[in-house]
């Protein structure tokens, strides 16, 4: 039977520490990817809601450009 060969304890410790760091960063990446999907979903919903608001405003005022500072608006020129 041959003798069991091992690396030094300090080397094994370094490998284990770095493996833990790699695993932690992979978990962080997974969390960030999940958070990215959540934010993209919220963003998409906000765009849909804004489009509904625009439709309602256009139905009431016609095509307009709104000043977001004070709420004033100008009518858009309709090109034929």
Angle at 10 between CA 8 and CA 12, to 5 degrees: 70
Across the chain, the runs of DSSP E, i.e. the strands, are 64-66, 73-75
Taking CA atoms, 36 is separated from 24, 30, 42, 46, 47, in Å, by 18, 10, 10, 15, 16
pLDDT in tens, 65-76: 999 999 999 999
- In DSSP terms, which residues pair with 73 in a beta bridge? 66
Residue 50: predicted pLDDT: 98
Question: Is the full-model pTM beyond 0.85?
Answer: no
80: pLDDT strictly greater than 90: no
> What tokens does 53 get?
């608001």
């Amino acid at each position: 039977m041959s003798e069991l060969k091992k690396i030094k304890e300090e080397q094994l410790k370094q490998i284990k520490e770095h493996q833990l760091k790699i695993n932690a960063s992979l978990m962080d990446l997974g969390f960030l990817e999940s958070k990215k999907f959540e934010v993209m979903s919220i963003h998409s919903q906000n765009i849909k809601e804004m489009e509904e608001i625009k439709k309602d405003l256009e139905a009431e005022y016609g095509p307009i450009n709104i000043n977001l500072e004070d709420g004033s608006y100008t009518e858009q020129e309709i090109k034929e």
